[in-house]
Amino acid sequence: MSHDTSSKPMYEQIFEALREQIVSGKYAPGERIPSEKELGEAYNVSRITSKKALEILAQEGYIVRQPGRGSFVSEEFTKAAAGPVGPTGKSRRDPGKLLIGLIMTDFGDSYGTGLVYGLEEASRQHDSYLILRRSLGVPANEQEAIQGLLELGVDGLIIFPAQGEFFNAEILKLVISQFPFVLLDRHLKGVSASSISTNNVAAAQELVNYLFGLGHTSIAMLTGPPEDTTAIEERIEGFIQAHAESGIAVDRSLWMDRIMATLPTAFVPENKEKEKENIKRHLKEHPEITALFAIEHNIAQLAYEAAREIGLGIPEDLSIVCFDSPDYAGGFLFTHMRQKQEEMGRLAFEHVLKLKNGESVPGKIQLDAELIRGSSTGPARKSK
């Protein structure tokens, strides 16, 4: 077996071997080919893998599968039908150019655009192409995107997983079939896959310690639902660790941990206004709060607007910190942790190419973030 062949997922190797045998005439039209069980034993793979290879052959018209009888070379098969194919057996116009699929929840000025820029630049440097599909944080959209990109014949996938309690079953299928893919921004528990993200625990600790240095001890956490979203969970962990190491008690009554308006599917004016009202109410009920730790920029922006609307000065009365903040001209720059988005994107693309070539890559890479001091923080106000 050649190095080029061994670098491919096993289902693809089985597909190509059977396809070549059909094209060469080893199996004539109407002749039965090995079953899932027989292929599994011959290639030492699971029946799931051999089944996928047979499904691709059927999709491409090389065989006809008959329940209870087996798989047979299609009577309508002709050698002229054979041509260059991609990882799912789909015809590819230019097999010399790699095609990488990118699935993201969403992206904007504060976060995501830098990731796309880094990925696109890496694809250009490697003479490859990138196809983008947004999931908007909806698992069903993510599933459809994975299936659709595989049908297009992509050579690898980069996935920014949707938020949710359970990871998508399509991702597990990618693991089982050994298809080259990398997770971006977060990792999934229980999934053996390469991931590239920020060291969120350390970044959150640095941000909280910065507030401590300014005299803030009554710090409210503002976050969306943390369940099974590793980036949020890790930032919360860093927030708590910073308090523990400084001997300052965490007051969870100051937290708002169900902010929904900034999720991709809910980020509309009506929801943002409702969320601002919730933040206003919370700040009035807890006048002891001197600083807000927002889990991401859009939440920080809502908090900034809410505070200003009830007469609180930023940073005179209330300091706000967050992760990421766009620094375009004229915009309000929050004190924030700047993630290395372009580097994350570049590494993700390069790791997919390495996996495609049969090379090993680290299971998890976490990059340090940089503290950027903006206009949203100042010394804690004195108690009246």
pLDDT of residue 264: 67
pLDDT of residue 291: 97
Report the CATH number of the 200-339 domain. Answer: 3.40.50.2300
Domain borders along the chain are 3-81, 99-197+341-368, 200-339
Q: In this structure, how many other beta carbons lie within 10 angstroms of the beta carbon of residue 213?
A: 9
Q: Within a 13 Å sphere around the CA of 116, how many CA atoms are in the beta-carbon half?
A: 16
pLDDT of residue 267: 66
Q: Which structure tokens are listed for 114?
A: 């830098």
pLDDT of residue 335: 96
CATH superfamily ID and name for 99-197+341-368: Response regulator (3.40.50.2300)
Q: What is the 3-state secondary structure (H, E, C) of 83-144?
A: CCECCCCCECCCCCCCEEEEEECCCECCCEHHHHHHHHHHHHHCCCEEEEEECCCCHHHHHH
CA 210 to chain centre: 29
DSSP H/E element including 33: strand 32-33
pLDDT of residue 178: 86
Report the CATH number of the 3-81 domain. Answer: 1.10.10.10
Radius of gyration (C-alpha) of the chain in whole angstroms: 26
pLDDT of residue 5: 44
Q: Which structure tokens are listed for 327?
A: 């620094």
pLDDT lower than 70: segments of the chain? 1-8, 76-96, 163-167, 190, 226-228, 264-267, 328-331, 383-384
The position carrying tokens 């057996």 is 89
Reported residue count of the chain is 384
Q: Cα separation of 143 and 33, whole Å?
A: 31
Please report how the helices 297-309 and 269-285 are oriented relative to each other, as an axis angle in degrees rounded to 10. Answer: 60
Partner residues linked to 291 by β-bridges: 219, 319
Helical residues (DSSP H) of the chain, grouped into ranges: 3-6, 10-23, 36-43, 47-59, 113-125, 139-152, 169-176, 200-213, 230-246, 269-285, 297-309, 341-356
Q: In this structure, how many other beta carbons lie within 10 angstroms of the beta carbon of residue 304?
A: 22
Which of 156, 64, 119, 102 shows the shortest CA–CA distance to 357?
156
pLDDT of residue 208: 98
pLDDT of residue 90: 46
Domains 3-81 and 99-197+341-368 share a fold: no
pTM across the whole model: 0.72
